[in-house]
Structure 1
Amino acid sequence: MTDLIHLTACAAVDMLKAGDVTPQEMVDAAYDRIEAVDGAVNATPILCRERAEQQAKTASRNTLLAGLPVGIKDLSEVEGVRCTYGSPIFKDYIPNFSDIPVVNLERHGAVLIGKTNTPEFGAGANTFNAVFGITRNPWDISKSCAGSSGGSAVALATGQCWLASGSDLGGSLRTPASFCGIVGLRPSPGRVPRLNPGDPFGTMSVEGPMGRTVEDTALMLDAMAGQDPRDPISQPLPHTSFRQTCRTGAPPRRIAYSLDLGGIIPVDPAVEQVFNNALKQLEDMGVELVETCPDFSNAIEAFKILRGLGFVNGQRENYEKHRNLLKDDVIWNYEYGRSLTAEDIAQAQRWRGAIHADAVRLFTQQDFDAFLCPTAIVPPYPAEQLWVDQVNGQTFDNYIHWLAMVSAITLTGLPAISVPAGFTEDGLPVGVQLVGAPFSEGRLLAHARHFESATGLATAVPIDPKGVLAVTSS
C-alpha cells in the first residue's frame, strides 16, 4: 500500500486497467495515507469513505481513470457529501447534486475520496478558514501552501490522492502548485464546463486539474473537459486527447519571458534566482528566449475592478444575510465592488480587451510558442501570515496585489500552467508559469512536459510533511 502512493496517476491508471491493482486497494492506500499525514497538514478535512468504497466496487477498467481516487476542492458540490465553501454559513450543507466537472470525473471512472480545504469562498491566497483551520505546506509545515486550492495541492504533494481538482480566478490553482511543488493548469475559459448560474458567460474564474506531473495533469483534463449544454461557453474536446498531445508534442522553439511582467510587480531574490536557472535550462534545451511581454501596465487595477464586480454578483445574499459570519477579505471584495461605477467597470473591460489582444499577438504575429514568468513573486511564507504585504521594499495596500503575476495572466484569457522549477536555499519549492496560445492546452502541456523532463523534478513528490510548528507560551 505504501508503494501505491508513489505511483504517478498515469502509472496507477495503467495498473488499474491491467488488473494489477484494484480500485479498493487504491482507496485503502489513499485513506491510510490521509490517516498517516493529514494531521500535520490538514489538506483533506472532509472524507466520504463509504461512498468511495461503493464507487470502487463498480469502477470499470474500461473508463479513462479506471477507479483512480481523486480529491475535490471544497468549492465544488458533490452529491451527498458535505460542502462548506470554507464558510461557517455552509458548515453543515450537503448538496443533492454534483457540479459538472465532478460528474465528468465520475463518469470517467474517478473515485472521490474527499473534499480538500479552501479559504472561505476561495477568497484569500492562504488556505485557512473558520470551519477547518489552516492547511500547511508539507515542505515546511510552518509555511503557507497558498490558496485557494491549497488543500488540493497539499493532498497531492503528500500522496493522499493521485489527482485533485482546483479552481482559479486570480491564481488560486497556480500559486498553490508553485508553493507545494506540484503542477496546476488554468485552462482556457470554457475548456472545463461548470455550473455558474449567476454569471454563466463569465471568463474570469475557471475549473482546472492539478497533478504531481504534467502528464498526470493532462490525464485529468481529459476527464474534466468537454462541451456541456448547461455551460454556454463550454468547448468541445479536441480530436486528440490532451494526454496524447502532451506525450507526443514537440518541445518549445521560441519563448517570450519576463521576470516582473514589464515592471508591474517586484519579485523576491530567491524566486528570481530559480527563474534565472529555469531560463538557463530552457537555453540548454535549445529554446530561443526573448525578453518581452504584453503591456500589463493596467492589469492590477483592471483585475481588482473585475474581481470586485464578481463578488457583488456572487456574494450579495451572503453579505446581506450573514455579514457577521464573513471574513474580512470577502467583505472587502464585496464592498469595493459595490463602490464601482459603470465607467469603472467599462474601463476595466477596455483594459482587459487591450491586454488580451496584446497577449495574443505574441503567438499570432511574433511566432512565440509560449510566454514564461514566475508563478509567485515570493517563496512560501509563514502560514499564520494572512497575505504578502511587501516585497523588496514595495508595500501592497490590499491582499490581492501580490498576486499580480498570476492575476494579470488571468486577464489574457489564455491557458497557463505552473510547473516546478527548483528550490530556494531553504528547500522551498518555486514554480514557473508557462502561458500558451488561445485554446492550446495540448501544446502547452507538451511544452511543460519537456521542461519538466529537463528539471528532473517530476519525482520530487509525494513527501512526508517536514518541519515543526513553533511553540509559543503565554
Structure 2
Amino acid sequence: MPGTIGELSAVELTTAIRKKEISAREALADHLDRVAEVNPVINAVVTLDPEGAQELAHQADELTASGAELPLLHGLPMTHKDTNNTAGMRTTQGSLALREFVPDADDLIIARLKAAGVVSTGKSNVPEFGAGSHTFNDLFGTTTNPYAPALSAGGSSGGVAAVVASRVQSIGDGSDMGGSLRIPASFCNVVGFRPSTAVIPMPSDVNAYAWLGRTGPMARSVEDIALFMSVTAGSDPRVPHPAGLDPAVFRSSLETDMRGVRIGWSPDFGIGVPVERGILEHLERQLAVFEGLGAIVEEATPDFSEADLVFGNTRAMDFAAGLGPILERAGDVIKPEVHWNVNKGLALTARDLIETTAARTRLEAGVQSFFGRYDLFASPCAQVLPFDATLRYPQSVAGVASETYLDWMRSACVLSATGLPVLSVPAGFSAAGLPIGLQLASNHYTDMQLLRWGRAFEQQTGYAAVAPVVEAGAAAGAPFLTTVPA
C-alpha cells in the first residue's frame, strides 16, 4: 500500500487540497502509482491519460493558489466507467465494435463531475455494453476482485468497484440497470447507490423517457456517496421526468435516529429468489445492528410477483432501442448475451407492452402498500459470493439452474423494476474472507434518508475500512491497459 493519500475519503482529500496540505499533483501522483501497482493484478483500468491528467492537476493547483472559490471535488483524481462518454477520450463500452470510438461530448454525469473539479485520468473496464454483472470483454479481458484476484469483481461497474476498493481513487461514476452498481459493490466491499428516477438525468436521443437504467456513484463511505450526489444531481431540460431532487438535499446532515424505524427484511423477495445459504445466514445476523439502533425488523416484502416481467420486458425494449442499430452494423463481434436481449426486445408485441405497463402499475401499488407499513426494505444484494472469473456467469445458484445470464442477478433486477432508490452497503465477509453486501431500498425520492440509514449501519460496522491486499503475481489474466498517446 502506498502512502496515506489513497486511504483518504473524497471528503478528506478534497478538504486537504483546499487547505493546501496536499496538492492536486500529489493526489494524482499517488493515484497513478496505485494504478501501476494494482492494475497488473485486477485489470480494472483500461485506458489511461497521464499527460492530460497532469495538465488538469497543474491547472487545479494554479486555481488553488489564486484564492478563487474552489468546486466541491476540486483536484480529485478519477477514472470513469467506460460506458460513460468522455469527450476526447476513447469510450469503447467494452466492445470491439467501438474500439476506436472517441466521443465529442461528455455524458451529463461526466460533465458535472468535471465541472465540480474532478481530474479525469482514464476509463475503467466494463462487460460489453454493460450487459451482465461480471466484467469481461473481448477487447480488454477480465477485471478481477481485489479481495480474491481469481474471482469476479461483479459488473457492469466492476472496474469502478475494483479501483475504489483498491484505493486507486475514493469515488467513481457507474451505472445500474439490473444491479450494475450494487452487485460489484457487494463483491468488492464498497458502497453502491442507485438513485431515484432522473435524480441524475440521463439524456438520450433514442428514449428520453427511459426509466430503468440509472447512473450513480460508488465509494468507500456513504458520506462520499452524498458528496458525489451533491454535484451530479439536478434536473436537465433534455429529460422530461419530474424534477427529482435538488442537489442541495445531499448537502444536508447525514445524522439520523433509527429508533422506531420499521424495516421489512426478505431472504427471497417473497418469490423464491435463490440465494446461497451462507449469505443469508450472515446477513440475518447483521440485522441485529439495526435492532441495536432501535429499529424494528420483521420479515416482510413488497409484492414482487410481477417484477421479473416488468424488468425483463423493459430491459429488452431498452436494449433493442439502444443497441439494435449497432447489432445491425457489427453484430458479428458482439457477444451472444447482447444478441439475445436485443432480439427479445424486437420480438415484443403490442400486447406484451400493454401487459408490461399494467404489471408495472400493479407492482407500484404493491410497493406503496409495503411503504404504508414499513420505512425500509432490506434484502440480499447478491445471490452468490464472488465466483470464478473465468466463467461467463454462475450456471446455478443454491442448486437452481440459471436459464439466462440475468437469472443470478434477480436479487437486484426485481428492485430495479420498482424504480426505487437502492443502496448496497458492505455487510462483512464470508468464512472465506469474501465481501457480502446488504441491499437497502426506500420509497421514491427519499434518497437522502436512505443514505442516512445506510450510514447509521456503516458507522456501527465499519466493514469498508477493511482494505484488500493486492499482491503482484496474483492476477487471473494479463492486463490490457492502454495509454492515450501524448
Q: TM-score range by the shorter chain?
A: over 0.9
Return the offset for 1:187: 0.3
Tell me which moved more, 262-271 or 373-382.
Answer: 262-271
1:304 counterpart residue number: 312
1:382 aligns with 2:388: yes
1:110 counterpart residue number: 118
Return the offset for 1:298: 1.9
2:31 counterpart residue number: 30
2:470 counterpart residue number: 464
Evaluate the alpha carbon distance shift between residue 153 and residue 373 of structure 1 in structure 2; reply closer, same or farther with a 3 A threshold. Answer: same
2:420 counterpart residue number: 414
Tell me which moved more, 459-468 or 310-319.
Answer: 459-468
Letter in 1 for 2:258: P
1:250 counterpart residue number: 257
Evaluate the alpha carbon distance shift between residue 53 and residue 462 of structure 1 in structure 2; reply closer, same or farther with a 3 A threshold. Answer: farther
User: How far, CA to CA, are the matches of 2:124 and 2:37 in structure 1?
Assistant: 16
1:53 aligns with 2:54: yes
Task: Describe the superposition over 1:225-246 as per-residue Cα deviations: whole angstroms up to 9, x where unpaired.
Answer: 1112122226354374414332
Q: Give the alignment's Cα RMSD to 1 decimal.
A: 1.7
1:345 counterpart residue number: 353
Letter in 2 for 1:250: D
Evaluate the alpha carbon distance shift between residue 466 and residue 291 of structure 1 in structure 2; reply closer, same or farther with a 3 A threshold. Answer: farther
User: How far, CA to CA, are the matches of 1:425 and 1:395 in structure 2?
Assistant: 24
1:272 counterpart residue number: 280
2:9 counterpart residue number: 8
Evaluate the alpha carbon distance shift between residue 50 and residue 187 of structure 1 in structure 2; reply closer, same or farther with a 3 A threshold. Answer: same
Counterpart contact for 1:26–1:68, Cα < 8 Å:
yes
User: How far, CA to CA, are the matches of 1:353 and 1:295 in structure 2?
Assistant: 12
1:147 counterpart residue number: 155
1:267 alignment partner, SS class: coil
Task: Describe the superposition over 1:370-413 as per-residue Cα deviations: whole angstroms up to 9, x where unpaired.
Answer: 11001001110100111122122211211101111111111111
In structure 2, list runs of 5 or more residues that go unmatched: 65-69, 478-486
User: How far, CA to CA, are the matches of 1:276 and 1:467 in structure 2?
Assistant: 36
Q: Choose which of 89, 96, 99 in structure 1 pairs with 2:104.
A: 96
Return the offset for 1:284: 1.9
User: How far, CA to CA, are the matches of 2:472 and 2:282 in structure 1?
Assistant: 21
Alignment of structure 1 residues 209-228 onto 2, 5 Å:
209-228=217-236
1:231 counterpart residue number: 239
What is the aligned length? 468
User: How far, CA to CA, are the matches of 1:463 and 1:6 in structure 2?
Assistant: 13
Q: Choose which of 165, 171, 182 in structure 1 pairs with 2:179.
A: 171
Task: Describe the superposition over 1:340-365 as per-residue Cα deviations: whole angstroms up to 9, x where unpaired.
Answer: 211112212221221122112332x2
User: How far, CA to CA, are the matches of 1:231 and 1:448 in structure 2?
Assistant: 29
Task: Describe the superposition over 1:49-86 as per-residue Cα deviations: whole angstroms up to 9, x where unpaired.
Answer: 22222221222552111211122100011111110010
User: How far, CA to CA, are the matches of 1:442 and 1:466 in structure 2?
Assistant: 40
User: How far, CA to CA, are the matches of 1:458 and 1:292 in structure 2?
Assistant: 28
Instruction: Using structure 1 for the length normalisation, give the TM-score.
Output: 0.95
Task: Describe the superposition over 1:194-253 as per-residue Cα deviations: whole angstroms up to 9, x where unpaired.
Answer: 22211111110010011011111111111211112122226354374414332x233362
Return the offset for 1:468: 3.6
User: How far, CA to CA, are the matches of 1:289 and 1:466 in structure 2?
Assistant: 44
1:455 counterpart residue number: 461
User: How far, CA to CA, are the matches of 1:69 and 1:196 in structure 2?
Assistant: 27
| Percent identity of equivalent pairs | 35
Alignment of structure 1 residues 177-196 onto 2, 5 Å:
177-196=185-204
2:481 counterpart residue number: none
Counterpart contact for 2:396–2:402, Cα < 8 Å:
yes
Evaluate the alpha carbon distance shift between residue 55 and residue 468 of structure 1 in structure 2; reply closer, same or farther with a 3 A threshold. Answer: closer
Return the offset for 1:469: 5.5
Return the offset for 1:126: 0.7
Counterpart contact for 1:204–1:410, Cα < 8 Å:
yes
1:143 alignment partner, SS class: strand
User: How far, CA to CA, are the matches of 2:420 and 2:410 in structure 1?
Assistant: 15
User: How far, CA to CA, are the matches of 2:247 and 2:157 in structure 1?
Assistant: 30
Letter in 2 for 1:295: D
Q: Choose which of 427, 436, 442 in structure 2 pairs with 1:430.
A: 436
Instruction: Using structure 2 for the length normalisation, give the TM-score.
Output: 0.93
1:292 counterpart residue number: 300
Counterpart contact for 1:141–1:466, Cα < 8 Å:
no
1:202 alignment partner, SS class: coil
Letter in 2 for 1:293: T
Return the offset for 1:299: 1.6
1:72 aligns with 2:73: no
2:73 alignment partner, SS class: coil
Counterpart contact for 1:300–1:401, Cα < 8 Å:
no
Return the offset for 1:463: 4.3
1:444 aligns with 2:450: yes
1:313 alignment partner, SS class: helix
1:11 alignment partner, SS class: helix
Evaluate the alpha carbon distance shift between residue 310 and residue 249 of structure 1 in structure 2; reply closer, same or farther with a 3 A threshold. Answer: same
Return the offset for 1:138: 0.7
Evaluate the alpha carbon distance shift between residue 301 and residue 466 of structure 1 in structure 2; reply closer, same or farther with a 3 A threshold. Answer: farther
User: How far, CA to CA, are the matches of 1:202 and 1:315 in structure 2?
Assistant: 14
Alignment of structure 1 residues 364-383 onto 2, 5 Å:
365-366=372-373, 368-383=374-389
Letter in 2 for 1:177: A
Counterpart contact for 1:140–1:466, Cα < 8 Å:
no
Return the offset for 1:461: 3.0
Return the offset for 1:337: 1.5
Counterpart contact for 2:232–2:247, Cα < 8 Å:
no
Evaluate the alpha carbon distance shift between residue 233 and residue 245 of structure 1 in structure 2; reply closer, same or farther with a 3 A threshold. Answer: farther
2:483 counterpart residue number: none
User: How far, CA to CA, are the matches of 1:425 and 1:327 in structure 2?
Assistant: 35
1:45 alignment partner, SS class: strand
User: How far, CA to CA, are the matches of 2:298 and 2:445 in structure 1?
Assistant: 23
Return the offset for 1:8: 1.2
Evaluate the alpha carbon distance shift between residue 239 and residue 311 of structure 1 in structure 2; reply closer, same or farther with a 3 A threshold. Answer: closer
Counterpart contact for 1:187–1:206, Cα < 8 Å:
yes
User: How far, CA to CA, are the matches of 2:84 and 2:397 in structure 1?
Assistant: 33
Letter in 2 for 1:23: A
Letter in 1 for 2:191: V
In structure 1, list runs of 5 or more residues that go unmatched: none
User: How far, CA to CA, are the matches of 1:470 and 1:129 in structure 2?
Assistant: 14
2:253 alignment partner, SS class: helix
User: How far, CA to CA, are the matches of 1:56 and 1:470 in structure 2?
Assistant: 33
Tell me which moved more, 257-266 or 324-333.
Answer: 257-266
Counterpart contact for 1:228–1:234, Cα < 8 Å:
no
1:162 counterpart residue number: 170
2:428 alignment partner, SS class: strand
2:465 alignment partner, SS class: coil
